[in-house]
Structure 1
Amino acid sequence: MQLMASVFLPTYPDPPGPKVASNAVAVARWLNATLDVAIVNVDIPDVSNALSRFLLDLPPKIREVEAASRQRGKILLDAVAGETSRCNVTLMSQELKAQPALMGEAAANEGRYFDLCMVGWTPNNEASQMTAEEVVFSSGRPTLILPGDEDVGQLDHVVIAWDGSRVAARAVADAKPFLERASAISIVTVTDEKVLPREDIGDRLAHGLAARGLLAKAESIHAGNNEIGAALQEHAIEINGSLLVMGGWGHSRLRDFVLGGATEGILADLRLPVLMSH
């Protein structure tokens, strides 16, 4: 069965980083997946107040903002189309429209129709961050968070952040397409962050993967004085990991996200691609 992946590219107030689109195409090629590109443009409600119309001249400004959003979307789509053609990746595309506060929600709702969601993460880019958080916690699909400013390359060394939890188990199951293509799999357990179910959880997961034909190495690390998210990323980079797989702790209420420690640390300073499941 053909894997279906979608990348969500919000265009307001700023587009994602310059590498997100090309990285999404590279991942689709790596997975032999069809890529759906969902451009998320802004749709600002009409202003009917007479004072707003005549004194502030808002309606023309709204049309100008929406037109700029659509133009950024067209540029992004053209860039992806050129990249998919070069890489021989099957492309589908769609345009979503949503009010500024609901752009992430629109992406998450659409993401439920795909096997994998991809989003960009660019520092100080509110649209990218809001979309990423909403898709991770509301789409019900595994979400690959891509750095917006650098090439990701082949995701052939998968590092699994493993604590034996439900969300970690879900993440490992969702990572199957990546695990099957990996040349190396590392299972990393942080032992000084919280009480773990048992001492050998990493070895147990390695044995389970081996029974499925996947060779993995289990190891334990200490976070020490580092935040757990920083410790996981630093270790993954140290062992030349190209993809970090982890469960996403958190929930959203009225767009106020409450994140677990590891999740918050990863999203505060994303340094490599992260596949997150909730």
Structure 2
Amino acid sequence: MPHTGTRVDAHVKVLDETVVERATARGLDALVYAPHFERLPTIRERAKRFSDDDLLVVPAREVFTGDWRNRRHLLALGLSEPIPDFITFEGAMAELERQDAAILVPHPTFATVSLTRPELDAHRDRIDAIETYNAKLLPHQNRRAGRVAGALELPAFGSSYAHLRATVGEAWTAFTDELETAADVVEAFKTDAPRRIVHRAGLDHRVRGTIEYGHLAYENTWKRLDRLFLSGDDPTNPRSVFYEGRFDDVAVY
């Protein structure tokens, strides 16, 4: 049965024909595509390639701020210019505000990759939404995120946070409004547009989440850091030639 409104899986890392088929089969209307360590022009091109009349793909960046041991992730939608990873938190926030991007907080208070509660308190007025359901996280972690969003009176969002194709569509943000364009989706996240956070249930859902959680072991290795960030040749290294020195004063590598 056709649904009303717009169902957005608000954060995925993978995008190909299989992902599009899975998202459509699960009744999604849009994906927010924010792969690790890819420049904005590349993300935009791929998002455009896989968007069609049935599924809108919105380009975004999950910006890694701080150094590898103490990084804070920010999910940015509506960027007008590229922004690198591994710059200071304040440097990233200032740049996102300059670009008037939607600033979302994924997986709040989780491990050493997320904004802490004191940081969320301090920057509440600069944040547009907090993730209250992430299919990768454990139930108590999502409940804690929900309490934080409620205490700060900030809008919520939910996502699969899919790094693996099978996880796409395990959770989503269901907006009441019909959002036709990427700009509409960005604006909805920047405001308190009516929404619900929805996720699948059952054993299969929990298994997929557990597999995703295990994928963190790969994401958080120093070996990967060495490969990516000891050289300025990486496309999202702040000292890359792509950024023409604009971020050298806030770079942490």
When normalised by structure 1's length, the TM-score is 0.29
